[in-house]
Structure formats: C-alpha cells, structure tokens
Structure 1
Amino acid sequence: MGNDPGPAKEPPKAAVSTEDVTPGGTFPIVKEPITIKVMVKANALVEDFATNWFTKTLEAKTNIKVDWEIVPENAAQEKLNLVLSSGDYPDVIMGFGVSPAQQLIYGDQGVFLALNNYIDKYGVETKKMFQENPYVKDLITAPSGKIYSLPQVNQCYHCSMPQKMWIYKPWLDKLGLKMPTTTEEFYQVLKAFKEKDPNGNGKADEIPYAGAITTKIDEFLMNAFLYNDKTHLFLNNGKVEVTFNKPEWKEGLIYLHRLYAEKLIAPQTFTQDANQLKQMGESPDVPILGSATALTMGVFTQFFGKSNRWLEYVAVPPLKGPSGKQITAPNPWGLAGGTFIITNKSKHPEAIFRWADAMYNREVTLDSVFGRPDQEWRWAKPEEIGINGKPAIWKRLANFGQVQNIHWAQTGPSYRPNDLRLGEAIDKGTMSQETILFQETKDKYDPYQVKTENILQPLFFTSEQAAEIADLEKTIGDYVNEMMSRFITGDANIATDWDNYLKTLDGMNLKRYLQVYQTAYDSRKK
C-alpha cells in the first residue's frame, strides 16, 4: 500500500511511561488513572458526554477519565479550523470527520500524530478490523503510508444508498394518488399536496416538499438527470469529472426552479437545520410535510415518537427523468474517516490509542452505540434469526433515535461490519426500524445502483496537493451551493446567467481542481 511509511513522527515524551500502559487487548489500560482532553462534536441524541453511562463504564474499564469540550454541531468546522490555526487544541479530536486534506496538512506538520507504530504495538482490534476489511486500511492511509486518524466503520446496508426521498403515504391514499415514478409525476403529486388540503384542516398549510442545509435538495432529485454523488465527483472512463458544470445539471436546476416557482418547495429548505426540518415533520395537531429528502424518515420525524408519524412516510424509488435516467448513487464504503485523531499535545498517546482501539471490540461497540447489555441490547439466543435470514448475533431491546444519556449514539470509533448489522435478531411478523429501512432500500433503491466504475473512492493527497485542494474545494463548493440556491429560487436566471456561471467556475480554477483529483486517483491505482 503506497510507500513505506518509515518511522512515525516522534510523539511528545509521555507522562505515562510505556511500562505503565498494559498490553493491547487487556484492561485497565493504565495502572494509575489519567485524564485526557477530548474535543467532540455535539450529538443531538446525547444529553451529556461527561455523565453518560458509556463514558463512566469506559472510564472504570480503562482507568482513563475524559475532560470533555463539546462543540455545537452547526459550528463544528469553524471551531476545528480555529483551534488548529491557534495551536490551542486538545489531546484528541473526535467525531469531526476531519478531511483527508486537513489530515495531510496537520499530519505533515506533526500536529496530528501518525498512528502506525501504535497500531503495530497495541492495535489488537484495529488489526482485526483491517484483516476482515482490507479496504478500510487502504482508505485511511496517506500516500506516504502513514495513518493519521481512526475511522468509524459502519457497513450499514440502507446507509450505503443514502440519497432517499420520503413521502407521506396517508396523503397519497386520501387523494387517490399512486407513488410517483417520474419527475413529472412527482411534480403533479406535490401540486396535489399543495392544492387539495390532504390534511383536511381547511387551511393551506401543507408543505409539499422541504429539505435542510444538512440534506441538500440536489441529493435525490438530481439523480433523475445525471449521476450525482454527494461529493459532486464521478468517474467517466477513468477520468475524474464534476456534475455541476454539465448540461444535465442545468436541466435539473430548471426542474427544481419550476417546483420552487410554484411554491412546492419550502423556502426554508436552503437555510434551516435538521432540528427545524424535524419540527415540520412533527408539527402538532396535523401533519403538514408531504415529502423530504433524507437518509431515513428519522431525520425529519421522531423515531418512536408520540405521533408515530415516522411509520407513515415511505420511500420514493429513484425518479425517471426526461431522458430516462433513473439512478441510485451508492456510498459502498461504510466508513466515516477522520473520526479519531491524537494530537501532539497529548502526554499519553499510547494510552489514548489503546482507549480508541478498545472501541472496535464487538461488545464495546454495542455498548457505545446502543447501551447497556441486557437492558438496551443482548446477545442472541440460538434459535433467533437475523435480518439476513442467518443465525442472529444480537438483539435490540430498546429503540434507537431518542435523546438519552446511556450511550454515545454513534459518536466516536466503532466497528459494525455487515454481518453484525444484519445479524440483529428480529421477531417474526414484526417490522422494526432496521427491517423497514433494509426492505425499503432493497426493494426500491438497490435495483438502480450506478456501476461501481463511475464511483470515485475517497482519496488522500500529498501534502502539497492537500494544501491546494483545501482552498479550491472551499471556493468552488461555496460558489456551487450559492448558485444552486440562486438558480432554484430565481434570484439568478438560469437562461441568461448559466454561461457566466461556467466562466466563473473556470476562473476559480476548476480545471486545476480536477487535475489534482485525477493525479491522486491515478496514483492510488498504481
């Protein structure tokens, strides 16, 4: 894999000697208690990381106490950039999804520690994960061969096809409408939602479609016009290209503007956050939200909430566009990179690595994600069958998706391979949250997956490329998002302003942006 990593950058002299750190896979991790500083992105489902049951359990198991700094989700990237530029950063950065570009920049400076030596010496669970899924190591390894962060691995079947549209089925039924299969049929359905008072309260308060800044409007609908991954990058016969300068992108924008001009798209779509979208989905008294783009219906409704409205939204299969395009854009990696980073501020890097490595253990992962053994989950009984039809591995005893203070709700390193995800025991004749999402994905999205040769895998760059791509990506990405909103809302006229939009992209050095990606892709293939 790439070049020989050579020796990792020397970490600061440890306040805990290596003799005080116990061998990999054993507990406690250190003989005498230590405290580490962890900056973590806030999780809306976790009340308080400091008093959380899993935090306390991990502390008792490892002898490692955490001094937490919680960063609000909507300010996470800004805060990360600020602390890195100021030099006032903690021992650990967790849950931020630090980009490969930033990993290379700060890894090269020695701010982020290379983890290779720690993996070799202590990585019992990490090495097991690499052995079972070699691609994981490949995707998190820099061109130099160094590894600067640990990932969260979640081979979630329904998450592997994340761009979904959900529609409120009771309204379809009440109005005698069929599930839309084309962009034109979807337009007609939204129009009926707006005009025919499907919630029956005599008010024109229905919102036919809404999204949020975290679930962008293009993520499902644009796939009726061209393959549109969340990154806006794709491969065309081995050539790296972007979606947002293509004629089909323009066609998609014209369609979306039509929806917006007829007030079928909520204006808040371009400014509201996920919580505000959920307030629409969980409106009191009567439902007002007809459809939304999201990974799951739990993004805009409350899983297992009082209204039980989450059960009434069903997935819309990929829509067929005017030219016959009908695409599911998959994300087959099941990996969130940049999840756990150790900085050069740490006095206990070996102990901290052992702390993170422990989270990949199967039982620790289940504790971290779901909660207490025999209360929120348990091991399966011999006769129980999993979602995949094979003997089950574990069973869920409590619903996931509500605010609680027991587990970390998918924050931090964890390892949930496909066999564990689909090895969840299910009761015969019942449809759980996981089985509903599995079935909707299998029946409606799997048949339309784009060919793997069109998918650009996550890439690492050299230090020089990383510095260059970071600036280009922000400049171009911000402009594309701005103009997408302006074209859809009519603030910019797509008929008269499209050519200037393309020229502006060229002036932002889009050609160089693609060249850097192409070079990184070509070197990864070697």
Structure 2
Amino acid sequence: MQRKKWLPVSLGLALAATAVLSGCADKGDQQGASGQSQQVTVNPAGQLPITNEKTTLKVLVKGSPFVEDFSKNEFTKFLEEKTNIHIEWDVAPEKSATEKLNLVLGSGDLPDVIMGFGVSPTQQLIYGSQGDFLDLTPYIEKYGAETKKMFDKVPGVKEAITAPGGKIYALPMVNECFHCSMSQKLWIYKPWLDKLGLAVPKTTDELYEVLKAFKTKDPNGNGKADEIPLAGAAVGPNVNIDSFIMNSFILDSSANGVGQNNWNRLFVNNGKVDLPYNKPEWKEGLAYLHKLYAEGLIAPQSFTQDRDQARQMGENPDINILGAEIAQHNGVFTTFSGPSGRWLEVVSVPPLKGPKGTQITPLNNSVGQGRYIITKASKNPDAAFRLADLLYSEEMTMRETIGRLDVEWKYADKGEVGINGKPAIWKKTDVVLPTVQNVSWSQTAPTLRTNDFRLGQVADPKNPQETILYNETKQNYEPYKQSMNTVLPQMFFTNEQAMELADLEKTITDHVQEMIARFVIGDASLDKDWDGYLKNLQNMNLKRYLEIYQAAYDAKMKK
C-alpha cells in the first residue's frame, strides 16, 4: 500500500484526499480505523458519568513545561472519577512536539484524540477531508451542551472554527484574555531605572540609551560587568527578539503561539493582504536591532533559549542581571509569586515611537484553533466528544487552568469586586502552586474563559498578577492597538490552495526567520545582502503566496 504524503504540521498544510467520514452513532459504536467497534453506552449530554463502563481514550498531547506528569495529574484523576474515562497519554515534549505530530500523522498510527497542538484551520480541512479527523458537527448537535453555550457567549467562535461546507474538525480553546489580546510587550526592571535616574523609554532612541546605561553603569552594583541589557527567547509567548520592537517601524503581526498566523506576519492593507518583511521599514527595524546586538545590548541566547533557560536568566540567584525582556507577561523571564519578587519589580514599556512616528500594538485572536481533534482511529468518538464538551464548563475550565475548587480557587463572596470593577465571580486562594505542578493541565485542553469571567476575578492585593496585567495593558498598550480593519481573520483554504501554499509557506517563513537572525547578529549585511534577500523572496514566489491568501480573504469577506 502506498503511504500518504504528509507535510510539516507547523505550517498547517498537507496533501488532501477525498474520503470523508460523517455522522455519529447513538451509542458510541462508530467504527474506528481497524473496523472494530467498541460497544460502550454513552450517557446523554450533561449527565455524568459519561460512560457507565470504564472507557479508555488514547490521547496524544503536546507537553507543557508546567505539568509534571499528565498520567498522575490531579485533574486527570478528578476527570476519571467524574466521567469513568481513563486517559492513556502519549506526551510529545514541547520542543519536539511538531516533529512528533508529523510522525504520527505520517505513519497513520493515530490516537483517539490529538490535544493541545493548536492545529491550524488549513490542516484541519486537509486531514478532515482525508477522513483522518472526524467532522464534529453531529456530535455538537447531539452532545454539545457546553459547546453550544460557548457559541452563544462568544460570537464569532463557531464561524471561526467552521470549515467550508459547514464541517468542524477541531474544538478550540477560547480565552478572551484582555492582556493576551495585545501580547507583544516589553518589560523593564524598574529598580535599575531608578538607580540610574532614568525614565521608562518612550522612543527607540531612548531605549537604546537605557540599554547602554544598563550595560555600562553597573546598575546591580556588584562591580562586575554581568548585566544583560535586553533578552528574548526562541520558545515562549511572544518572546522573539523582533517581537514588540519591529512595531516601532512597521506593523509586525506575528504572534508566537497565538492564533493561525504564527510566523506569517500577514495583515490587511486597504483590503489587500500584505506583509512587512519586504518593506524598507522592515530593513530599518533590522538595522536598529543589529545596532543593539553589535553593541552587546541583546543577549546572544535570545535566538536559542527556551522558557526554562529564560527564567533562569531572569531569576539569577542572589542578584538581578537582566534589565529588560520581551515577553507576553511578567511571568515568563521571572516567576509569578517567586521568592525573588522580581515579577513585581518589572514594568511594561508602551509601544516605542519609531524614527517615523510608528507606534503600534498588534492584536491577537482569542480563539486558539485546533486544541482537540478526534481521529478516525477512535473506537468511541461519542465519549471522546463528551469529554471535550465537559471541559468547557465553568468548573472544569477552572480546574484545568487554575487548580482545585476550594484549594487553589473559590467562588467569590457577596460584595467582592472584580478586576473590572464589577461584582466578582471567583478568586484565588493563598495556595500558590510551584511553577512545575501536577494539579492542573495548565491551559493544554479546550477551555472557555470569557473576558467577563477572567476580569471577574477578585482584585486581591495578595494575588495581583491579573490586576497588574490588566492595568498595564489597559494603560500602556490599548491606546495604540492595531485597527481592526487591518487584522487578518482566521481562514480556511481549499485543498488546491493548501497544496500550493504548502511549499511556499514553509520556504518563505523559514527564510524570513533565518534572515532575521542573520541580519541582527551580523552574519548577513543589510547593506550588501538586503537586495539578495528580496530577490530570494521573489524567487520563492512571494507574489503567488500573497495571491492565494488574497483569494481566501476575499472569499471569507463575501460570506
């Protein structure tokens, strides 16, 4: 038998076939890939346990650096007790998760469920049309009590996850996180500014002067030249060194790990799909970053380090060595509620005004695509869907993201006020979990957190994390937010478009990422190699790449 051709998951693209599975069984007896059926009674929507008999689901999950062991996790045990569903985990380490999923999809040896990978709409469409991913619309109709509530509470979610033809191949994580919606941020260590008599920088020129002072004036006072003025990372939420800073030169709508358009940086310009990285302004931004790097103001580790290494840099024992970091929040390079307290000593820097006055906060989509997929190998897709639907309930969402009811969190008391100034809904307790814990799944599964619910957390001075993020975002980033008519919506592509995009997107985005690093480090010269870089993009058929996106965008706008 000839094996199916497959393409990298990170692009959300692959070749499509024609077989499509449809319908759902009344009692979980839909046949799996082996042709065998597992006769298990699945109880009606909203009723627990999900199955009367113990049922096992094989789940391939993207590993989390914050979860110790999914198989022994407290939330896993709680779910099994409530649902009668046992999960047999196959954990793909975060660093190699893409490669792991590539291998699984390429081999055809599929699990019952794929969870936490953020599979893109295009990949959903392609593997769905092949029949590898089940259409979930009949399951939503029959069992989707919580899913339907989600569609009602957050308009636009159903449309965002529905493929052409009306099929839904994956369930999302919906997180109307106010601070996440404007996730490209810069955090700076306030005690160093105070010691040196400096203000929070407002322009790119001022940032340069601040970083130079951090490097040369011994702000930590230990008599050593050990200060790191600015750092980013290769893994984590909006930690890339070009994130945030490029928006002082041109809109850079990349969102590391958020939404569909991770790495492709596309936006809408007067109704036309456009991109920044072939523009003169992009070159100017790279020249600025190269200047910082050449003068030792950017840590070389910024292009390679993961979350753990970034946190070790920010939480250096005994004395602080890091002046500023690019990250979505102040718990990436430092530790929320950590013993050093440095997460409380960094403040956000508003978008910097660039040489031509550019000053933008890009917007991210709140719909995390492709978080839960049921494959054709599932012998009991009804039970698999009911488990996912249950995760959208309020209590399950809180247990999955925060921890145990009445241990790590409680419902609010009457009269308590939320972060948004309205009557509070819930609050954290004084119990603080370690960074690596085994109580929750740490935002791996499909969950529902509306803006009202998130901001309905009690504004507790003992747990100021969310209050800080809300206030910093409201004051420093919302005033500069990207215009909605320039935001590229999440899109599905036809099989023909997807096949053509596959090689184009990989080739182009890989080249852009490589050249960002080379131009910043100085391995490539902006004076000598910029024209060659642009020519390479032309030879990679950047024009056709944009034409395909434009066609998909035009089709979406006509709906």
Q: Compute the TM-score of the two structures, normalised by the length of structure 1.
A: 0.96
Give the aligned partner of residue 504 of structure 1. Answer: 536
Structure 2 match to 1:339:
371
Q: Pick from 260, 272, 278: which aligns with 2:293?
A: 260
Local SS of the residue matching 1:25: coil
Deviations 1:453-482 (A, max 9, x none): 111111111122223223221111110000
Q: Does 1:221 align with 2:221?
A: no
Counterpart AA for 2:58: K
Q: Deviations over 1:332-357 (max 9, x none)?
A: x3111010001111100011000000
Aligned equivalents of 1:35, 1:431: Cα separation in 2: 38
User: 2:328 matched to which residue of 1?
Assistant: 295
Give the deviation of 1:89 after TM superposition: 2.1
Name 1:271's counterpart in structure 2: 304
| CA distances 1:378-428 after superposition (whole Å, capped 9, x unpaired) | 11111111111111111111346722111111110110011110111123x
Match in the other structure for 1:29: 50
Tell me if structure 2 keeps the 8 A contact 1:101–1:469: no
- 1:39 aligns with 60
Residue equivalent to 1:467: 499
Q: Is residue 2:31 matched to residue 1:13?
A: yes
Distance in 2 between residues matched to 1:145 and 1:134, nearest whole Å: 17
Q: Is the 8 A contact 2:21 2:131 kept in 1?
A: no
The CA distance in 2 between the partners of 1:461 and 1:189, in whole Å, is 46
Structure 2 residue identity aligned to 1:72: P
Alignment of 1:364-379 (within 5 A): 364-379=396-411
What is the match of residue 310 of structure 1?
343
How many equivalent residue pairs? 518
Contact 1:8 1:116 in 2 (8 A): no
**Partner of 1:480 in structure 2?**
512
Give the C-alpha shift of residue 8 in structure 1.
5.3
**Counterpart AA for 2:138:** N
Deviates more, 1:500-509 or 1:395-404: 395-404
Whole-angstrom CA distance in 2 between matches of 1:219 and 1:143: 33
Separation (CA, whole Å) in 2 of partners of 1:455 and 1:352:
34
From 516, 522, 527, the equivalent of 1:495 is 527
Q: Distance in 1 between matches of 2:444 and 2:265?
A: 26
Q: Does 1:452 align with 2:484?
A: yes
2:216 corresponds to: 195
Task: Return the alpha-carbon distance in structure 2 between the equivalents of residues 268 and 365 of structure 1.
Answer: 35
Do the aligned partners of 1:257 and 1:489 also contact (CA within 8 Å) in 2?
yes
CA distance in 1, matches of 2:100, 2:544: 29
Indicate which of 318, 326, 338 corresponds to 1:285. Answer: 318
SS in 1 for 2:243: helix
Indicate the residue corresponding to 1:250 in structure 2.
283
In the alignment, which residue of structure 2 is the partner of 1:3? Answer: none
Secondary structure of 1:298's match? coil
1:395 to 401, 404, 427: 427
Confirm whether residue 111 of structure 1 aligns to residue 110 of structure 2.
no
Q: CA deviation at 1:321?
A: 0.2
Instruction: Tell me how far apart the structure 2 counterparts of residues 236 and 338 of structure 1 sit (CA, whole Å).
Output: 27
2:381 paired with 1:349: yes
Structure 2 distance, partners of 1:406, 1:270, is 32
Match of 2:141 among 115, 120, 141: 120
* CA distance in 2: counterparts of 1:339 and 1:435, whole angstroms: 27
Tell me the CA shift for residue 16 of structure 1: 4.0
Q: 1:285 to 1:457 in 2, by over 3 A?
A: same
TM-score, normalization by structure 2: 0.91
Per-residue deviation, 1:227 = 1.1
Residue equivalent to 2:360: 327
Answer yes or no: is 1:414 the counterpart of 2:414.
no
Name the aligned partner's letter for residue 323 of structure 2: G
Alpha carbons of structure 1 residues 9 and 468: separation in structure 2 relative to 1, 3 Å: farther
In structure 2, distance between residues paired with 1:324 and 1:123: 49
What residue number does 2:457 align with? 424
Query: SS of the residue aligned with 2:377?
Result: coil
Matched, 1:71 2:92: yes
Contact 1:105 1:467 in 2 (8 A): no
CA drift at 1:68: 0.3
Identity percentage of aligned residues: 59
Letter in 2 for 1:9: S
Amino acid at match of 1:241: D
Aligned amino acid, residue 22 of structure 2: K
Residues 131-210 of structure 1 mapped to structure 2, 5 A cutoff: 131-210=152-231
**Residues 139 and 385 in structure 2, CA contact (< 8 A), matched pair in contact too:** yes
Q: Secondary structure at the match of 2:229?
A: coil
Residue 233 (1) aligns with residue 266 (2): yes
Unaligned runs of 5+ in 1: 1-6
Which secondary structure state, in structure 2, belongs to the residue aligned with residue 283 of structure 1?
coil
Q: CA deviation at 1:443?
A: 0.6
Using the TM superposition, give the Cα deviation of residue 430 of structure 1 relative to its aligned residue in structure 2, in angstroms: 5.5
